[in-house]
Amino acid sequence: MKPVLYGAPLSPYVRKIRLLLAFKEVEYESKMIVPYATPEGYEQLNPLKRVPALVYGEHTLADSAVIAHFLDATFAEKKLIPEDLFLKARCEWFEKYADYELASHTTFTAFSQRILSRLAGKQPDEKAVNIAIEKKLPPLFDYLESQLNGLFFVANTLTLADISIASQLISFEHAGESICEEKWPKLSQFYQHFIQLTPVGPILSAEKAMLRKLLGA
């Protein structure tokens, strides 16, 4: 039985699940759902009408964290959430940090303004983007920099923490931004290493191609 993932590939929350499934080598089906333009009945899968949602057999789930934890436990061969209770909690902390703190600026400001506004034929609010880049993100990046002691955030191995953080940083890259290597050398190295991991390449290239097509570039 294959899981069916509903959502748009450029959403960082959908990307998080696609990356998780790719690292776990789980086959799945994708169904396109465009955020803010969800079809009638989609609220049966996600009552908040957000992406992603997951259907697995007769079960439906909403929210990327809920979906990620369910999939990691269901397809348990390559675990991406540590068993150790403290490390698991650390992993959950970084996932929340990415989903709620980084996301406000990487996705809901930089990506939304530079990409979604453009697609809607509107001028990006560069002032808001500048505030995100100059004021809001630096302390968040400082904290992440202080937590890195190698190429991974938790347990010296790839976990959902890395996937969640990198998913947000990919949105930042799509918005035309990058992590300053001089200010945040460890975070920059983390990101460069992550995007070169084998399962990430095809996902990232497909997203970049999709973006070029959407923007007519």
113 contributes a contact to ligand GSH by CB under 6 A: no
Instruction: Closer to ligand GSH by CB, 47 or 185: give it.
Output: 47
Report CA-CA distances (Å) from 31 to 21, 61, 72, 130, 141: 15, 14, 20, 34, 33
13 contributes a contact to ligand GSH by CB under 6 A: yes
Q: In what order do the strands lie in the sheet with 29-32?
A: 29-32, 4-7, 53-56, 59-62
Residues 2, 34, 36, 39: which binds ligand GSH (CB under 6 A)? 36
Give min distance, CB of 50 to ligand GSH, in A. Answer: 3
50 contributes a contact to ligand GSH by CB under 6 A: yes
51 contributes a contact to ligand GSH by CB under 6 A: yes
186 contributes a contact to ligand GSH by CB under 6 A: no
Sorted by sequence, the CB contacts under 8 Å of residue 74 that are 6+ apart come out as 56
Give min distance, CB of 43 to ligand GSH, in A. Answer: 11
* Among the residue ranges 44-52, 75-83, 150-158, 209-217, the one whose residues contact ligand GSH (CB under 6 A): 44-52
List the helix and strand counts (H, then E) for the chain: 10, 4
First to last CA, the chain: 39
What residues numbered 72-111 form the site for ligand GSH, per CB under 6 A?
99
167 contributes a contact to ligand GSH by CB under 6 A: no
Residues 5, 20, 54, 65: which binds ligand GSH (CB under 6 A)? 65
Give min distance, CB of 107 to ligand GSH, in A. Answer: 6
Cβ neighbours, 10 Å, residue 110: 26
* CB contact at 8 A, 124 and 114: yes
* CB contact at 8 A, 110 and 133: yes
* Among the residue ranges 60-68, 85-93, 117-125, 143-151, the one whose residues contact ligand GSH (CB under 6 A): 60-68
**Which is it for strands 59-62 and 53-56: parallel, antiparallel or unpaired?**
antiparallel
DSSP 108: I
Per DSSP, the three-state class of 157 is strand
Instruction: Closer to ligand GSH by CB, 162 or 188: give it.
Output: 162
133 contributes a contact to ligand GSH by CB under 6 A: no
138 contributes a contact to ligand GSH by CB under 6 A: no
Give the binding site for ligand GSH (CB under 6 A). 11, 13, 35-36, 49-52, 63-65, 99
